[in-house]
Amino acid sequence: MEKLWTYNDYVDRLQHPNLLVREWAFDALDKQYYRTYTKEVSGLLKETEGFLASKAADYLARHKAEDAIPDLIRAFNEGRKKGKAAEVLGKLGYGQFTEEVIKAVPHSQNLMEFLGYLHFLGTVRNEDSHQILSSLFSESMHKEANSDIAGALLKHHRPNEVRRVLNRLLEAFNESQPDILPFKDLLESVEGDYFYEWFVSDREKFILTSPVDLVTSIASDSRCMEGVVEELEEVWPLLRAERDQDAVSLLLFKAQAMFRARYPEKSCKEHHQDLFEKDKMALAFLDFFATKEICWETASMAGDDGMEQVVSAALACYMSVRYRGFLMEALEPDAELSTLLAALQAAENHFPESILERIRKAAPVQGLIDGLSEDLGSWGDILTTKLMGQIGDKRFVPHLIRIIKTVDSLAWIYSNASNAMERMEEAAHEIILEHVKNGTAGDTFSMIGFLRYLPYAEAFDAAIQVWENARRGDRDHEFFALTLEGIGDRRGIDILKEFIKEGHMIGVEESLETLATLHGADISEEMVLIEEDQIAREERRKAIFGDIKSVPTIEATREAQARMKKEEEKHIRRESTETVKRGALKIGRNAKCPCGSGKKYKKCCMNK
């Protein structure tokens, strides 16, 4: 097959005067050439519209592009995405920029910029960073980000800060009575936040009333929790008897015993330093929970919710210490590949990047395929599919298709498997195309998605075939338009013109403009229709909301939005498919985004 667009075609269009074309070119380079670093991407840091500058910055961080540091500094100094530039400089470990970030903190223009500075200061762990974070926490300059400040401060791994931070935040709880205690963000410093969510996500609060049943259920899907029910058999009766503080004291005792056995000299090897520091932090949390009365007094004010959260936080700290024991051998410099893969299979949400990097370099195709569990429900499976995309070998294709056909589309592993399919090496393209043409690549949505990053005339033909064979209820005009745009075939222009004339405007108009600009096609007639539709939509909005002169109540806004949605459905002929729910790890709003940015899902891809 002959490509419609080559690597150089995409690189050249990074400088195109049309923003949509620049976005199209970047998207292709980011997906189709995932393993290739394109230095010209740093020029996109100059973008002032949309999200392209932020995406480019994340791209540079992923490629560890130290040659782009001058461009990131320039973007910071010129006031373009200062927070994002600082965040990426932190990821690149550029500690020389600490003074400039500290100077910028008091002048933050918005919360997102401020959070970017916090990310830098929490990642670059030097004395100056620690001092400014400590001052920010004491001064409460940004009350809405107090837990974020505390989280960044605790990532410096100084156990003596744990008591200070928790005392301060729990005192603030007594004053303001928020809905939940501020544990989750703080536990990121010991990588216990994911374990914490395990225990507090149950509405029946079984961690207090039926802890064995709850932990047994969780352990069935987690290899790192095997044997924990028996290991903590003395803890469960204390919880059932409402002796929660005694239960936490016993958890502290057991965690201390694990720590002493793991580090008998109270020191560690260099390659275990990160685990050692996090274990010490977890013990500091447990000591606070076990000994400080303010913790239990505050929890009692919040009733069962408060008790549940303290017990869950303590269990999360214990589990984080226990989990790190599974990683010790794999972090040894001379660890065998089999040891690395065994650690991967026992992985949870937080997993050392150094182990993943060694597996990537080894590229054990069959080892990764064999390591997938039968139910595809573990974090090891999720990380395995991510590695498949990063390696890109064509032999992964049928296994990724099996995952996508098997699991719920809201599951983490579905997202990672879909991303992996987009990142397959060029040698896999014909295999993917054959699966689509033979109807063995999943449902309509999946097959159309697989074709988006295959820039071939044959992919366009296959997309049309899938679309024409699809049931009306399985057709999504906006998603199909994105695929035609990604393929880049000129014939897509006529298809999208017809969509516009049929009234399918939303999302389609940008794909049409992109293709028309790429091929120099005239779409003036369609632009008139699009403009008329936008005017009509605005008139309908005004008819429902009126000319707003004051801020409406939340209830009034929701009612108006519901009326507008109902009205819009009369004008936009789009149908949605029903999602079949299956048991799998879902993406929570506060979970880390599966795109790999390191941000929370709600602050990254949730609304894109």
How high is the pLDDT of residue 595? 54
| CA of residue 383 relative to chain centroid, distance | 13
Same domain, yes or no: 123 and 167: no
pLDDT at residue 258 tops 60: yes
The arithmetic mean of pLDDT across residues 470-475, rounded, is 85
pLDDT classification of 590: cutoffs 50, 70, 90: very low
Within a domain: 546: no
* C-beta of residue 93 within 8 angstroms of C-beta of residue 112: no
pLDDT classification of 556: cutoffs 50, 70, 90: low
Within a domain: 595: no
Q: Position 24: which residue type?
A: W
CB atoms within 10 A of CB 375: 14
CA angle 320, 322, 325 (to 5 degrees): 110
Same domain, yes or no: 282 and 375: no
- Phi, psi (degrees; rounded to nearest 5) at 507: 85, -35
How high is the pLDDT of residue 574? 36
Domain with residue 134: its CATH number is 1.25.10.10
Which residues are CB-contacts of 231 (< 8 A; sequence separation ≥ 6)? 254
How high is the pLDDT of residue 576? 34
pLDDT at residue 63 tops 90: yes
Query: What's the rounded Cα separation, in Å, for the pair 47 and 584?
Result: 38
What distances in angstroms separate CA 233 from CA 277, 289, 310, one per listed residue?
28, 20, 19
Within a domain: 509: no
Same domain, yes or no: 189 and 281: yes
How high is the pLDDT of residue 15? 96
> How does the average pLDDT of the chain come out, rounded?
88
CA angle 545, 548, 554 (to 5 degrees): 70
Within a domain: 282: yes
The arithmetic mean of pLDDT across residues 56-75, rounded, is 97
Same domain, yes or no: 311 and 388: no
Give tens-digit pLDDT for 519-528.
999 999 988 9
Within a domain: 258: yes
Same domain, yes or no: 129 and 35: yes
Within a domain: 175: yes
- From 475, 497, 522, give the residue that closes a domain: 475
Residue-by-residue DSSP string for 337-379: HHHHHHHHHT--S---HHHHHHHHHH--HHHHHHHS-SS--SH
Burial 160-187 (b: 16+ CB within 10 A, else e): ebbeebbebbbebbeeeeeeebbbbbbb
How high is the pLDDT of residue 583? 43
How high is the pLDDT of residue 571? 47
Within a domain: 363: yes
- From 414, 445, 475, give the residue that closes a domain: 475
Residue 600 pairs in a beta bridge with 592
Which residues are CB-contacts of 274 (< 8 A; sequence separation ≥ 6)? 352
% of the chain surpassing 70 pLDDT: 87
* C-beta of residue 156 within 8 angstroms of C-beta of residue 133: yes
Give tens-digit pLDDT for 10-32.
999 999 999 999 999 999 999 99
Same domain, yes or no: 152 and 162: no
How high is the pLDDT of residue 573? 38
Structure tokens at 475: 């057709």
The arithmetic mean of pLDDT across residues 239-257, rounded, is 96
What is the domain extent for residue 69? 29-156
How high is the pLDDT of residue 605? 55
Structure tokens at 553: 């109540």
| CA of residue 23 relative to chain centroid, distance | 21
Same domain, yes or no: 281 and 166: yes
- Range from 209-218, 253-262, 548-557 that averages highest in pLDDT: 253-262
The arithmetic mean of pLDDT across residues 230-237, rounded, is 96
Query: What's the rounded Cα separation, in Å, for the pair 500 and 11?
Result: 30
Q: What is the largest CA-CA distance in the chain?
A: 77
Same domain, yes or no: 125 and 38: yes
Same domain, yes or no: 172 and 147: no
- Report the SS3 class of residue 81: coil
The arithmetic mean of pLDDT across residues 588-603, rounded, is 50
The arithmetic mean of pLDDT across residues 85-97, rounded, is 97
Structural domain count, the chain: 3
How high is the pLDDT of residue 301? 84
The residue to which tokens 């744990």 are assigned? 162
How high is the pLDDT of residue 582? 34
Same domain, yes or no: 150 and 178: no
pLDDT classification of 439: cutoffs 50, 70, 90: very high
- Report the SS3 class of residue 608: coil
How high is the pLDDT of residue 143? 66
pLDDT at residue 403 tops 70: yes
The arithmetic mean of pLDDT across residues 252-266, rounded, is 96
- From 112, 141, 156, give the residue that closes a domain: 156
Rg (CA), the chain: 26
pLDDT at residue 285 tops 80: yes
* C-beta of residue 83 within 8 angstroms of C-beta of residue 103: no
Helix axes 429-437 and 397-406, enclosed angle (nearest 10): 40
Query: What's the rounded Cα separation, in Å, for the pair 485 and 465?
Result: 16
pLDDT at residue 557 tops 60: no
pLDDT at residue 237 tops 90: yes
Give tens-digit pLDDT for 320-334.
999 999 999 999 999
pLDDT at residue 537 tops 90: no
Give tens-digit pLDDT for 127-153.
999 999 999 998 865 667 888 999 999
How high is the pLDDT of residue 109? 87
How high is the pLDDT of residue 567? 55
* Residue bearing the bigger pLDDT, 579 or 229: 229
- Sign of the dihedral through C-alpha 99, 102, 107, 110: positive
Give tens-digit pLDDT for 164-184.
999 988 887 765 555 567 888
- Phi, psi (degrees; rounded to nearest 5) at 351: -145, 135
How high is the pLDDT of residue 448? 96
pLDDT classification of 516: cutoffs 50, 70, 90: very high
pLDDT at residue 602 tops 50: no
* C-beta of residue 506 within 8 angstroms of C-beta of residue 572: yes
Structure tokens at 237: 């009766």
Q: How many residues does the chain have?
A: 608
How high is the pLDDT of residue 530? 85
**What is the C-alpha end-to-end distance of the chain, expressed in Å?**
33
pLDDT at residue 395 tops 80: yes
Same domain, yes or no: 162 and 128: no
Same domain, yes or no: 311 and 387: no
What distances in angstroms separate CA 607 from CA 490, 589, 601, 603, one per listed residue?
30, 11, 9, 8
Within a domain: 497: no
How high is the pLDDT of residue 181? 77
| CA of residue 556 relative to chain centroid, distance | 33
